[in-house]
Amino acid sequence: MTDFFKGIPQIKYEGPQTENDFAFRHYDAEEVVMGKKMKDHLRFAAAYWHSFAWSGGDPFGGQTFERPWFGDTMEAAKLKADAAFEMFQILDVPYYCFHDADVRPEGADFAENTRNLEEIVDYFAEKQAATGVKLLWGTANLFSHRRFMSGAATNPDPEVFAFSAATIKTCIDATMKLGGENYVLWGGREGYETLLNTDLGRERKQAGRMLQMVVDYKHKMGFKGAILIEPKPQEPMKHQYDYDVATVYGFLKEFGLEGEVQMNIEQGHAILAGHSFEHELAMARELGIFGSIDMNRNDYQSGWDTDQFPNNVPEMALAYYEVLRAGGFITGGTNFDAKLRRQSLDAEDLILAHVGGMDACAAGLKAAAAMLEDGKLEAARDDRYAGWETAEGKGLMASDLDEIASKVLNNNINPAPRSGRQERLENLVNRYL
């Protein structure tokens, strides 16, 4: 036991009336919503990097957080793991996620990185067995070290491609050893700063080949989890290749990887791409590539990835509505890829940020389930498209332009516009919140 969270109680569900800050108001893990326990709908995960590895820096200043585990030794890495698993238990989150670089000290070379990772993976395995906490996904950090400054798979230097491929292999091995349910690839620095020095065509091919190798390795090793790509339009690079869900879908098609890779969709990245979160979720669902979510919001004024804990229930409701319409999570879950504000120094800030985020998600999920069960929204949508269910509507899809032109002429088809009823539907949604 560390004493980092000393004095902070186990967080329990006390209901909306409680005055206790250290309690859930909406998240009752065992409560059944649409035939499933809330914990099985939401499948919460805490992110190691923001909560335990980030030191509070911004472009104008360095570290603000003081944590006893900051340091580049294996001993520090184990102390960090002790504190992390204590937090997972205080919150009773069933899952966590990590990058290799979050959990092990940086070595002098690939061999030392791998040894360090393997040692900490053994330590995690013991902790998972002792606590019952599971790994939602593992991933490789191929963007922080200076060797990755011009990309990983898309680097102009083939040695960086090789180093990246080898590192991904070790991270898939680590994920498998820990029983991880998914493996994530976020583009990191796979993109460019200026076309003046960039061979865009070559870089995209390199990224496609790397992804094929990842999928091949998954099959070779018998990994049962999902391979997930996390789209993001920019930051850190000015332009990122995995721009959004639709762009990644085209990329998967091009490299013959459809059916092999799903999406990990982050709320803040959707906003950066000029979409709503629910747009990206619905797009992934319709393309058959919905996998998992990173549930952290951006500040709408600042135009970068501020990675804040979610606190807006109406937004959560619309997001989980799309998740439920996709059939919910299978291997995926709700990962808080969210960090504290840099003035939130205390251990209790870290706990309360997660408590609020979990509660906002739970309230959103309940509202979404009510909307779906009530069926009014779906009925209104069905009504709007009802014409397509008639024999004439269906026939149109099987016709050609000539046939349709004669039909319009002969039957004097003269469509009358109908209201989209947006405000009425918005009013309806507000009734569930």
Sign for the CA dihedral angle at 169, 52, 297, 327 comes to: positive
Least Å from the CB of residue 290 to ligand XLS: 16
Please identify, using beta-carbon distances, which residue of 104 and 232 lies nearer to ligand XLS: 232
Please choose which of ligand XLS, Ni ion, none residue 280 contacts, taking the beta carbon within 5 to 8 angstroms, the exact cut-off set by kind: none
Please identify, using beta-carbon distances, which residue of 4 and 148 lies nearer to Ni ion: 148
Least Å from the CB of residue 143 to ligand XLS: 8
Q: Interface residues for ligand XLS in 259-288 (CB under 6 A)?
A: 266
Please identify, using beta-carbon distances, which residue of 143 and 320 lies nearer to ligand XLS: 143
Choose among 430, 371, 432, 359: nearest CA to 31: 359
Contacts of 106 (CB under 8 A, 6+ apart): 72, 113, 145
Please identify, using beta-carbon distances, which residue of 237 and 318 lies nearer to ligand XLS: 237
Look up 99 and say whether it is catalytic: yes
Least Å from the CB of residue 284 to ligand XLS: 16
Measured distance CA(360)–CA(356) in Å, rounded: 6
Sign for the CA dihedral angle at 191, 136, 297, 68 comes to: negative
Please choose which of Ni ion, ligand XLS, none residue 48 contacts, taking the beta carbon within 5 to 8 angstroms, the exact cut-off set by kind: none
Interface with ligand XLS: number of residues (CB under 6 A): 10
Q: Is 307 helix (H, G, I), strand (E, B) or coil?
A: coil
> What stretch of H or E contains 228?
strand 226-230
Instruction: Dump strand ranges (E) for 231-301.
Output: 239-240, 261-266, 290-294
Q: What is the DSSP string of 313-349?
A: HHHHHHHHHHHHHTT--SS--EEE-----TT--SHHH
Q: Catalytic: which of 26, 99, 275, 279?
A: 99
Q: Work out which of 114, 139, 155, 292 binds ligand XLS, going by CB under 6 A.
A: 139
Omega of the bond leading into 415 within 30 degrees of 0 (cis):
no
337 binds ligand XLS (CB under 6 A): yes
Q: Catalytic: which of 28, 100, 102, 337?
A: 102
Q: Which amino acid is residue 411, in one-letter code?
A: N
339 binds ligand XLS (CB under 6 A): no
State the residues that interact with Ni ion by CB under 5 A. Answer: 266, 294, 305, 337
Q: Which amino acid is residue 336, in one-letter code?
A: F
Least Å from the CB of residue 49 to Ni ion: 9
Q: Is 289 helix (H, G, I), strand (E, B) or coil?
A: coil
Least Å from the CB of residue 273 to ligand XLS: 12
**Total Cβ atoms within 10 A of residue 239:** 14
Measured distance CA(191)–CA(40) in Å, rounded: 36
Q: By Cβ distance, which residue is nearest to ligand XLS?
A: 186
Q: Work out which of 186, 251, 277, 290 binds ligand XLS, going by CB under 6 A.
A: 186
Look up 239 and say whether it is catalytic: no
Q: Which amino acid is residue 151, in one-letter code?
A: G
Please identify, using beta-carbon distances, which residue of 26 and 99 lies nearer to ligand XLS: 99
Please identify, using beta-carbon distances, which residue of 28 and 305 lies nearer to ligand XLS: 305
Least Å from the CB of residue 99 to ligand XLS: 6
102 binds ligand XLS (CB under 6 A): no
Q: Work out which of 92, 102, 260, 305 binds ligand XLS, going by CB under 6 A.
A: 305
Choose among 165, 113, 160, 102: nearest CA to 135: 102
Contacts of 167 (CB under 8 A, 6+ apart): 100, 110, 113, 140, 142
Please choose which of Ni ion, ligand XLS, none residue 359 contacts, taking the beta carbon within 5 to 8 angstroms, the exact cut-off set by kind: none
Please choose which of ligand XLS, Ni ion, none residue 190 contacts, taking the beta carbon within 5 to 8 angstroms, the exact cut-off set by kind: none
Q: Work out which of 203, 244, 278, 294 binds ligand XLS, going by CB under 6 A.
A: 294
Taking the CA atoms of the chain, what radius of gyration do you get in angstroms? Answer: 24
Residue pair 64/342 in contact (Cβ under 8 Å)? The answer is yes
Contacts of 205 (CB under 8 A, 6+ apart): none
173 binds ligand XLS (CB under 6 A): no
Least Å from the CB of residue 296 to ligand XLS: 8
Per CB under 6 A, residues contacting ligand XLS are 99, 139, 184, 186, 230, 232, 266, 294, 305, 337
Q: Which residues are catalytic?
A: 99, 102
